[in-house]
């Protein structure tokens, strides 16, 4: 492992029906189990899948902007990350669908940039080989 450039610290208590709080207090969220998982999904609460999808979308968009800059391409982009929890054999697992909407390049260029971003993004690298990541690219 390399030297840490930044470390985020959060603490959860009560599992999927508890709370999660970042060490700096910026995040201080109540959790509940989604109805799709048999829970009560209380209004104003979140869950681990929403938190992961938000982090992955932001990180992937940063990676996309970086690889576009290195390729001297000026783009505008949005990334939507759909994170699903699913039953897998005797346990549970995640599946991800990333939708990249990119302005400023052709469809082929957009697809190439998304592939490079996928190879660069720390979230993509962390789950590589463990989580299926479907990628949809829409050049506008």
User: Which residue segments constitute the domains of the chain, with CATH numbers given?
Assistant: 1-46 (2.20.25.10), 48-139 (3.30.300.20)
Place 2 in a pLDDT band, splitting at 50, 70 and 90: confident
pLDDT of residue 46: 97
Dist CA 25 CA 95 (whole Å):
29
Place 47 in a pLDDT band, splitting at 50, 70 and 90: very high
Query: What is the mean predicted confidence (pLDDT) over 1-21?
Result: 94
Tokens of 2: 């390399």
- Say whether pLDDT at 117 is over 90: yes
pTM (predicted TM-score):
0.94
pLDDT of residue 34: 94
Residues of the chain with pLDDT > 90: what percent? 94
- Say whether pLDDT at 1 is over 80: no
């Amino acid at each position: 492992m390399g030297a840490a450039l930044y470390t985020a610290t959060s603490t959860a208590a009560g599992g999927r029906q508890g709370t999660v709080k970042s060490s700096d207090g910026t995040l201080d969220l109540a959790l509940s189990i989604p109805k799709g998982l048999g829970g009560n999904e209380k209004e104003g609460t979140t869950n681990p899948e929403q938190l992961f999808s938000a982090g992955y979308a932001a990180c992937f968009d940063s990676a996309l902007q970086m690889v576009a800059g290195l390729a001297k391409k000026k783009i505008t982009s949005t990334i939507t990350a759909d994170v699903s929890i699913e039953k897998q054999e005797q346990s549970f697992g995640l599946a991800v669908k990333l939708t990249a909407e990119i302005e400023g390049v052709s469809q082929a260029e957009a697809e190439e940039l998304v592939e490079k971003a996928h190879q660069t993004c720390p979230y993509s690298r962390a789950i590589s080989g463990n989580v299926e990541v479907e990628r949809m690219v829409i050049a506008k």
